[in-house]
């Protein structure tokens, strides 16, 4: 199993551009989530999903959209990138019976200039 | 508000020594705590967890201690090795709950000197 796969690994955007960060998992996990990691801030939850068709906002959802059309995929969309969105983004998945034992991808490092 | 924090941002230990990483939490309703390890350039990985009905849980070379009275938990790593060098995060939430209630601390960077 590949686990949680995130693409791309690195991305540079100009302010105002849009893009989608991809996340796929092959563990048949119902729960998926997106975090951003900034220096000195730990991991902060952006959006999460408890199953296909269901999403909810986390601590820092502004500027990001998500959808969950399949169990495997949970893309994160930046509609109009801002320098404040420069960060490392992690996708995670878990199963309902171990909902907080998160399996993380290796992250996407995003720079917005 | 709710928070999970760590006492020290960095910790340096000699190879072979024991390491202790501390964490404090503010939400007394949290009943489940997890330690994650993050190596450079990778995502966090689960190390060990503990529910609030326990005071101590042991894994392979790692032990987590939970003191509910003072809302404090610690991660002890025995015979620390160079491969233990990483950032360690504690996280607190509700057992069986969604990720929406899981709060991460800011992390402690452990450096192991050979």
- With a CB cutoff of 8 Å and minimum separation 6, the contacts of B35 are B21, B46, B47, B48, B49, B62, B64, B75, B88, B89, B90, B91
Report percent pLDDT > 90 for chain A. 91
Which residues from A are below 8 Å from B9, CB to CB? Answer: 40
Instruction: List C-alpha distances in Å: A27 to A32, A42, A108, B71, B106.
Output: 11, 26, 20, 34, 28
Per-residue pLDDT tens over the stretch B34-49: 999 999 999 999 999 9
SS3 content of chain B, % helix, strand, coil (to 5): 5, 55, 40
A1 vs B29, residue with greater confidence = B29
> For B98, which of A40, A43, A48 is closest by C-beta distance?
A48
Find the Cα–Cα–Cα–Cα dihedral B9, B14, B20, B23, rounded to 10°. Answer: 10
pLDDT over threshold 50, residue B1: no
Interface residue of A6, A29, A42, A109 to substitute, partner B, most B CBs within 10 Å? A42
pLDDT band at B23 (very low <50, low <70, confident <90, very high): very high
User: How many angstroms separate the CA atoms of A106 and A108, rounded?
Assistant: 7
Exposed/middle/buried for residue A63 (C-beta within 10 Å: 0-12, 13-18, 19+):
middle
What is the nearest CA distance from B97 to chain A, expressed in angstroms?
7
CB-CB under 8 Å, B99 with A45: yes
Prior bond of A8 cis (ω within 30°): yes
Interface residue of B6, B8, B43 to substitute, partner A, most A CBs within 10 Å? B43
> For B43, which of A94, A99, A106 is closest by C-beta distance?
A106
Exposed/middle/buried for residue B86 (C-beta within 10 Å: 0-12, 13-18, 19+):
buried
pLDDT over threshold 90, residue A29: yes
Per-residue pLDDT tens over the stretch A33-50: 999 999 877 899 999 999
CB-CB under 8 Å, A100 with B102: yes
pLDDT at residue A39 in the model: 84
> For A101, which of B9, B41, B49 is closest by C-beta distance?
B49
* Contact status, residue A59 vs residue B102, Cβ threshold 8 Å: no
Helix (H) or strand (E) holding A13: strand A10-13
pLDDT band at B3 (very low <50, low <70, confident <90, very high): low
């Amino acid at each position: 199993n590949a686990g949680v796969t995130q693409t791309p690994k690195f991305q540079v955007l100009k302010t105002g551009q849009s893009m989608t960060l991809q996340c796929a998992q092959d563990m048949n996990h119902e729960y998926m989530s997106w975090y951003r990691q900034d220096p000195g801030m730990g991991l902060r939850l952006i959006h999460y999903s408890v199953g296909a068709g269901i999403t909810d906002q986390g601590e820092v959802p502004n500027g990001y959209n998500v959808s969950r059309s399949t169990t495997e995929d949970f893309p994160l969309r930046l509609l109009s990138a801002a320098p404040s969105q420069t960060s490392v983004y992690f996708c995670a998945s878990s199963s309902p019976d171990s909902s907080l034992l998160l399996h993380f991808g290796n992250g996407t490092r995003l720079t917005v200039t | 508000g709710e928070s999970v924090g760590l006492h020290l941002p960095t910790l340096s230990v000699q190879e072979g020594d024991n390491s202790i990483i501390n964490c404090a939490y503010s939400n007394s309703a949290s009943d489940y705590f997890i330690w994650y390890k993050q190596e450079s350039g990778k995502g966090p990985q689960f190390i060990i967890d503990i529910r609030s009905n326990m005071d101590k849980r042991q894994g392979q070379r790692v032990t987590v201690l939970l003191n509910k009275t003072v809302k404090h938990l610690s991660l002890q790593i025995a015979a620390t090795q160079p491969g233990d060098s990483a950032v360690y995060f504690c996280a607190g939430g509700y057992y069986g709950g969604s990720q929406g209630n899981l709060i991460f601390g800011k992390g402690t960077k452990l450096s192991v000197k050979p």
